[in-house]
Structure 1
């Protein structure tokens, strides 16, 4: 695993700039790849009548690995990026030589959570993304997050295409439970969680650790759900401390 590139998939509702704070220090030690997911950042949303499904986004990731001629990588992500990592693991487990799960969970949405995602999708299509920072920031950052971090999150959210946000929200709403997939993932795994993450809390991280055959847990103190934005140094230390030298 030590020679494998690291592919990190970003959270919702932002793009690969989520990794700006970790890119340079990780890139000094590893080959790091941080793509935008379909419909977000600079990645177009395909023109298709298919219902939104993370399996299609997983095919995008595998196609990227094919273009880069990478047979196997260490694959991971934050929040939605973790859900997408699990989808890739279902689709092409032979391409995954290690896993990094950051502030994410393996269980499917409850009916209430799925309805809320569909409501977000409908509202963002109708009104754009301008309302979203006030609505979601309290869940994504800790109360101690400095103003510049909140402002950066606002910039990332409001720069996303509404169609991409809506697609991702609907795709997450229909994702399956991934516990069985993780039980068969016999590769090293790192699980990182913010101590104050209220969306995918320590309990969810512990479930990942208990389910994965070979997992290491790192808890980052005094930060919330988007740890790469709020504590990039902590994320870097966790990854480099776990990644085989």
Structure 2
């Protein structure tokens, strides 16, 4: 997969941020290729979407940012800025700088919260929405689990050790993964240091945004943001084993949405699907073909 690194300034003008730009090299139809903005979860980065990009990048232009404090993007010296409304403003700066007026918003976990915030601030931006294991109600069990692992940690001695740590934290979500899958997972979520040790690829200070009973990463009442999506095409992907997005919430999401709505549940996967699973990928490809082509 070929992509270029697009460097841009954060909305506040203080940080250097980076996004991958996959140019849809095989797109042959008249006009520019449809754009998808892929937004990762709390402790992830742009590499999280590599498995999905392998299936979409020939046909669609993919913009895949490292949010501030992750991947190649600069860490914010003010941890209070690690929250969805600030990230959303960074996304507007990214799209405006690339002169992209409309895009399908694909959000995993925190990225889905960002998509809802972006729609509330700039209605009409999105050609559609794909929510990956996220909705207007976040199960306290899932939040507590995330709070339990996010934050400072010691460097790991090797990639094998990094894979073991990823397994220890995420085995509940991917019970069928083997050694190869955990190593690939580690390669997407960690970075190698100059001394050969391996660290998680995010600013540990993002943990501050998840602290307490009412994390600032999560707006207090998300249903108004969901209702504001109105008639837009929506696909919801839920992991069968998810402890963050319940089936009850998914049912209410469907009932409260007046426009095109589809939902897929990924077997034997928790929070959050990688999106290259057979059922998830089929649903996403069908969604893109119907609403973006």
In structure 2, what is the Cα distance between the partners aligned to 1:195 and 1:115? 19
Largest Rg, 1 or 2: 2
State the match for 2:170 in structure 1.
137
In structure 2, what is the Cα distance between the partners aligned to 1:224 and 1:116? 12
Identify the structure with bigger relative contact order (alpha carbons < 8 Å, sequence gap 6+): 1
Matches within 5 A, 1:26-105: 26-48=56-78, 50-105=80-135
Structure 1 residue ranges, 4+ long, deviating more than 4 angstroms after superposition: 112-121, 126-132
State the match for 2:282 in structure 1.
237
State the match for 1:188 in structure 2.
233
Of 223, 231, 234, which aligns to 2:269?
A: 223
Would the aligned equivalents of 1:194 and 1:221 in 2 still touch at CA under 8 Å? Answer: yes
- Normalised by the length of structure 1, the TM-score is 0.81
**Against the structure 1 CA distance between its residues 49 and 77, is the aligned structure 2 distance closer, same or farther, given a 3 Å change threshold?**
closer
- Normalised by the length of structure 2, the TM-score is 0.69
Root-mean-square deviation (CA, aligned residues, Å) is 3.1
Would the aligned equivalents of 1:22 and 1:236 in 2 still touch at CA under 8 Å? Answer: yes
Q: How many residues align?
A: 239
Q: Which has the higher strand share?
A: 2
Structure 2 residue runs of 5 or longer lacking an equivalent are: 1-31, 157-161, 192-200
Q: CA deviation at 1:138?
A: 2.8
In structure 2, what is the Cα distance between the partners aligned to 1:164 and 1:140? 24
Would the aligned equivalents of 2:33 and 2:59 in 1 still touch at CA under 8 Å? Answer: no
**Against the structure 1 CA distance between its residues 30 and 90, is the aligned structure 2 distance closer, same or farther, given a 3 Å change threshold?**
same
Would the aligned equivalents of 1:40 and 1:164 in 2 still touch at CA under 8 Å? Answer: no
Q: Does 1:154 align with 2:186?
A: yes
**Against the structure 1 CA distance between its residues 208 and 3, is the aligned structure 2 distance closer, same or farther, given a 3 Å change threshold?**
farther
Would the aligned equivalents of 1:220 and 1:234 in 2 still touch at CA under 8 Å? Answer: yes
Would the aligned equivalents of 2:106 and 2:112 in 1 still touch at CA under 8 Å? Answer: yes
**Against the structure 1 CA distance between its residues 19 and 241, is the aligned structure 2 distance closer, same or farther, given a 3 Å change threshold?**
same
